[in-house]
Amino acid sequence: MHSMSDERNWLTWLVKVRMLILTFLLAIQLAVVRLTPSPLPVLPFLTAMVLWYVLSLFFLFLVSVWSERRLQAILQVLSDLAMVTLVVHLTGGIDSSLNFLYPLVIIVACMLLPRSWGFLSAALAFILFGTILELDYYSLLPSFSTSHPKLQALQIVIFVNLFAYFAIAYLAGSLMAKLRQVDVQLKDASGALENLQALHENIVQSMSGGVIATGLDGRITLVNRAAQQLLEITERELRGRSVSSIFQDPLPHVGSGRSDAEVRYSAANGFRKTFRVTVSALNVIARGDLGFIFSFDDLTEMRRLEREVRMQDRLAAVGRLAAAIAHEIRNPLTSIAGSVSMLSDAVALNDEQRQLLQIVTRESERLNNIITDFLAYSRGKQYRFERANLVPLLQDTLTLLEHRLTAESAGIQLVRNFSVSEALVLADGDKLKQVFWNFCENAVRAMKKTGGSLTVSLVQRGEDWEMSFADTGPGINSQQAEKIFEPFQSNFEGGTGLGLAIVYQIVQAHDGKVWARSEVGRGTSFVIRLRCLEQGVARTSSSAQPGVTAAAAAAGGGARG
């Protein structure tokens, strides 16, 4: 059977078709009356047609306010049979050309109602048609027919119509039964197809790897949830874009010999990620290639760990060797510095000789500072972890820096951007101050000639506290940023290149993360993340292993994700 919405649509369609047929019949009959002599009573015929129009409008209103569709269909069929009988009588009875309307009503009954109602409508049509012909024949009603057939001929007409009505009811009922069966099968097939489509869509959306589907032109047509999370972009922003415009490196091509490649991606927050992308053709057997499927995984953390392991292995060996060499260099260096100091007190030296001795003294001091920093970097460090508030630690460091900038008239503005007044961590406060001061010192050096501003921020990111030190200096390129936490990578004149390496050691000892973000001409930002105290693990002391030190953690390499 039809659903409620289908039944309402059928009833509405029936009313509209009825009104169209009525208009057509009215025009035809009026043309016949005007062009040929006919006993057709115009006024009663027009009255009947107007009544039929009114009934149609009433049924159209009833469809919108009454939910009993079955009763409405029965009422429409019965009223149509009655009106057809009236119109047939007014247009000549046995001579009427409108008795074809009975089969139409029977077909409508088979469409809207069960099959038994089709035979019942045929029986009612036979009774009504036979009754009106009998009444006309015996002059019990005013007759508008021009012919007066004998009783036997009249009975033959009536029974021929009986056979025709029931034949129409049988054929229409059989046809509608088949159509209903096909409709049920179609709905079942449609439901199965929808379920299958939903299953496939759920499979694609539930995959842990990113999936992007494109057309042959490379425009994105589908993006699963994992891809949106990895790219940090919504499907609405991605749909319709060229897939090659998303990544920084060329994507693999179907048929190029390599179906996968590692590509870089720059997220909206500035982090760089590394993806392994695999491409395959979206092929339909009957239609050929319709597009391409790009699947990708995030290799950022894996590549970062690989770099760290390689760096730590290399630095562990270099650190042990260099520490021994540094001890051996320091002893003769002390003797050289002492001897030069004694020579500088000699009276017989001229200005040029004194200048040379000053150069030797200055360079000896610089070499001693390098060795001191390197020994501090290579030796194990003792930490005293306790409950600490990051806000006063930052404030102490920034207050000291502010006084220095004021005294030096450096032209550098210090901006504090703290979203909280208390940020508790489990940390060694003195070591964290060393980290903060190193970042501030680097920022001041970067802006020493041009001036600018240093913005220090503290916000909460999930279970971590995030601190950033952003300057407006000249910035550094991506190659320098990747190695910025490695030893001897200083970009400043006279720097040992060990300050940031020591910073990395300290942050690693606190189970934190540190990374740098920079763009040439737009400054550099150092970011640290430390676990909130409520989520931390209590510790009393810890010591770093000598020789196992920093790795490249810059520009997304040391960042989370």
Query: Is the sign of the CA dihedral 527, 528, 533, 535 positive or negative?
Result: positive
Reduced to 3 states, what is the DSSP secondary structure of residue 531?
A: strand
- Contact of 375 with 323, CB cutoff 8 Å: yes
How far apart CA 500 and CA 437 sit, in angstroms, is 11
- Percent of the residues in the chain that have a pLDDT greater than 90, as a whole number: 8
| Higher per-residue pLDDT: 481 or 182 | 182
As a whole number of angstroms, the distance between CA 526 and CA 476 comes to 12
Task: Say if residue 74's pLDDT is above 80.
Answer: yes
Asked if residue 214 is part of any domain, the answer here is yes
Strand 272-284 vs strand 412-418: parallel, antiparallel, or unpaired?
unpaired
Q: Please identify, among 378, 410, 432, the residue that sits at the C-terminal boundary of a domain.
A: 378
454: its two tokens: 């240093």
**How many whole angstroms separate alpha carbon 25 and alpha carbon 377?**
104
Helix axes 101-112, 151-206, angle to 10 degrees: 30
Q: Which two tokens stand for residue 282?
A: 């979206």
Nearest to 77 by CA among 123, 44, 27: 123
Say which residues have a Cβ less than 8 Å from residue 182's Cβ, sequence separation at least 6: none
Domain membership of residue 552 (yes or no) is no
Residue 270 CA neighbour count, 13 Å, CB half? 14
CATH code, domain with 227:
3.30.450.20
Q: Report the distance separating Cα 109 and Cα 77, nearest Å.
A: 6
Check pLDDT > 90 for residue 467: yes
Does residue 290 fall inside a structural domain?
yes
For 498, the token pair is: 């060990």
For the cut 50, the answer to whether the pLDDT of residue 106 exceeds it is yes
* Angstrom distance (rounded) from CA 394 to CA 454: 13
Query: What pLDDT shows up at residue 547?
Result: 36
pLDDT of residue 216: 86
Q: Judge whether 330 and 372 are in contact, CB under 8 Å.
A: no
CA-wise closest residue to 71 among 84, 58, 62, 60: 62
pTM, 2 dp = 0.43
Q: Residue 438 belongs to a domain with what CATH number?
A: 3.30.565.10
Residue 148 lies in a domain: yes
Domain contains 90: yes
406-457, pLDDT tens digit by residue? Answer: 888 878 889 999 988 899 999 998 889 989 998 998 888 888 888 889 999 9
Residue 526 within a domain: yes
Q: Are residues 23 and 162 in the same domain?
A: yes
Residues 502 and 374 in one domain: no
The answer on 96 and 235 residing in a single domain is no
pLDDT tens profile 42-56: 777 778 878 887 887
236 & 348 share domain: no
Q: Are residues 294 and 419 in the same domain?
A: no
Residue 67 resides in a domain: yes
Angle between helix axes 4-35 and 101-112 (nearest 10 degrees) is 170
Please identify, among 157, 189, 221, the residue that sits at the C-terminal boundary of a domain: 189
Range with the largest mean pLDDT of 84-88, 117-121, 167-171, 426-430: 426-430
Within this chain, do residues 533 and 388 fall inside the same structural domain, yes or no?
Answer: yes
311 lies in the same domain as 426: no
Question: Does residue 466 share a domain with residue 374?
Answer: no
Residue 560 lies in a domain: no
Asked whether residue 283 falls in the same domain as residue 330, the answer is no
Name the domain boundary from 338, 356, 378: 378
Looking at the structure, do residues 285 and 398 belong to the same domain, yes or no?
no
Structural domains of the chain, count: 4
| Distance separating alpha carbons of residues 334 and 52, to the nearest angstrom | 121
164 and 217, same structural domain?
no
Which alpha helices (DSSP H) does 345-428 contain, by range?
Answer: 351-378, 390-408
Q: Specify the higher pLDDT residue, 9 or 529.
A: 529
In angstroms, how far apart are the furthest CA atoms of the chain?
Answer: 163
Range ranked top by mean pLDDT from 5-9, 110-114, 439-443: 439-443
The gap from C-alpha 255 to its chain's centroid, in whole angstroms, comes to: 30
Domain extent at residue 293: 208-298
Same domain, 138 and 242: no
Q: What single-letter amino acid sits at 153?
A: A
Q: What share of the chain is helix, strand, coil (3-state, %, to 5)?
A: 55, 15, 25
CATH number at residue 324: 1.10.287
Could you tell me which residues are beta bridge partners of residue 458?
418, 467
